[in-house]
Structure 1
């Protein structure tokens, strides 16, 4: 027979459980699942892979993919605000779960889950389904981070297109994953690309502008020990329709290439775009751009630049670099590429 205290505790637990369950609207795939423990429901009896809607112990909703084996080595997983993605081994076997920690984004999360399931169902093998699920989650990351409130400015679009043009050259020579790993500009690193034995700084300018490029700080052209340093300069000009392409079209070109050739690299591509401030929901149809092939310059002794270290107390140095002063140091892509091929084979 229950004691009074025990009965009270049970009633209190039931009230808390009802409050947790009420957080989940009835018109979602998680309605009816019991909070307070891991409760699941198979997504579809006809699904190729073992997908489950789940409610976690804190009443967080989740999508679960049941696996035969954990991947080895474990792939990179996104670390995102309001979204947790993890592997876990349960008595019934290993799983991958994608868990929402902010129920205020439930509607968006349901859309993400259905998109992840649709991508995974295209796979022929379980490892491929897992790869597609993770990749598609990365592609949705910027939405769950809240996106960007404003579209990129014209100047920011021009700079991003310039970096994408150099990125495409690198992808063609060292592979998509290596090139995307080297693309550090969007994260705020001193150089736009940092490879094993090379660093590349990219400057996009209007073709008809004054013959200068802006160096934003004292570190952009600073030497890096044991690495060659290159400055890539290209013209990115705004043009009228039907000429040129929008920023969105530049992005879609690379996305389509990755989907055909190296889909596992798409997650890195989307992370970099988000870091650069690009949001696919914004309308970039107003601006169309054409980009010239980049001109490369080798940064060696005698190159015109403000050298580091700068005097104590001085920082944030910006200056205009004359193209005419860079001309003696101009080289071509073949010189840059020859070293890239060597380092990729190391």
Structure 2
């Protein structure tokens, strides 16, 4: 099973290892574990505290373990028939981690990359995001940054539910936020993609956040990768343990940091907010039986009576205090 692979020649029946890259910055090893399973091992100087969440991948075990030689993170293959794909996964994880400046960041990137494989292997796409999707993701990142600044990184990441397919982009304990990005020169409308995006959620207020995101010529503006990196730097400074969850949300949104987004530069405005409450113009739910998958254009002029600002929204979102935040 292990011939013609990086694990060839390693002795089965005990933990046997071979360094992945003799000149590599971090201590990655090809390993054969006690039941002859191929594995990738990252040797650590210490375990992170608290331990970060780890992805669950079919045919793989991913765990921390403390050995006589010190703590490790290992990714072990359980299905020998998948060894070629497993080698590709391992090399991708190592490549992602090698760019890190310290061991903690290397570990975060290794875990983040396995989350990306989690996304791909459960049916995610590996294509560049089209322009409309880039604009939408930039809008969501702008709102996520506001939430990180006001409720903390971990709680904010947990509220970002749109990439996982939830009807609303952000779901807090007592509020939901739907985000729309539009061109500044376009007609004053936003597209509502389905009948549930602006539907009431029992026990929660609903806010519509609208941003203009315009394509500009380099060197003006920022790329999608720039927007992601800027928020990632904030998370790395304030709550590095949430980076894997951030990476997973990005992967669910279709973003891959290995892709080249340098051809698109974007200028994004601050968000304009609207309180979605009756008689706000929207389709009523439930719609007639047999009717579904509706989309419609919403006039921002018609929404003007419901316009508010971030200061008002912020005071409403967090009026219950930090202990009550999502």
2: distance between equivalents of 1:202 and 1:281? 26
Displacement of 1:94 in angstroms is 7.8
Q: Deviations over 1:76-104 (max 9, x none)?
A: 21124665312468899986421245321
Who is 2:255 aligned against?
278
1:112 counterpart (93, 107, 114): 93
Using the size of structure 2 for normalisation, the TM-score is 0.83
Does 2:108 correspond to 1:137? Answer: no
Displacement of 1:189 in angstroms is 0.7
Who is 1:39 aligned against?
15
How many positions carry a matched residue from both structures?
313
Who is 2:152 aligned against?
175
- Please say if residues 161 and 247 of structure 1, whose CA atoms lie closer than 8 Å, have aligned partners that are also in contact: yes
Residues 172 and 185 of structure 1: is their aligned pair in 2 closer, same or farther, counting only changes over 3 Å?
same
1: distance between equivalents of 2:227 and 2:142? 9
- Please say if residues 179 and 210 of structure 2, whose CA atoms lie closer than 8 Å, have aligned partners that are also in contact: yes
Q: Deviations over 1:251-302 (max 9, x none)?
A: 1111222222221111111111111111122221221111111110111121
1 or 2 for the larger relative contact order (CA 8 Å, sep ≥6)?
Answer: 2
Who is 1:63 aligned against?
41
Does 2:134 correspond to 1:153? Answer: no
- Please say if residues 28 and 40 of structure 2, whose CA atoms lie closer than 8 Å, have aligned partners that are also in contact: no
2:182 counterpart (196, 201, 205): 205
- Please say if residues 38 and 54 of structure 1, whose CA atoms lie closer than 8 Å, have aligned partners that are also in contact: no
Using the size of structure 1 for normalisation, the TM-score is 0.78
Q: Give the root-mean-square deviation of aligned CA atoms.
A: 3.3
2:222 counterpart (213, 226, 245): 245
Q: Deviations over 1:30-71 (max 9, x none)?
A: 342124x34323759xx9x997642132542231658988x8
Structure 2 unaligned runs (5+)? none
Displacement of 1:122 in angstroms is 3.4
Larger Rg: 1
Who is 1:339 aligned against?
316
Does 2:158 correspond to 1:184? Answer: no
- Please say if residues 60 and 99 of structure 1, whose CA atoms lie closer than 8 Å, have aligned partners that are also in contact: yes
Structure 1 unaligned runs (5+)? 1-19, 124-128
Q: Deviations over 1:153-199 (max 9, x none)?
A: 11111111111111111111111121111111111110000011110
2: distance between equivalents of 1:202 and 1:34? 54
2: distance between equivalents of 1:266 and 1:68? 18
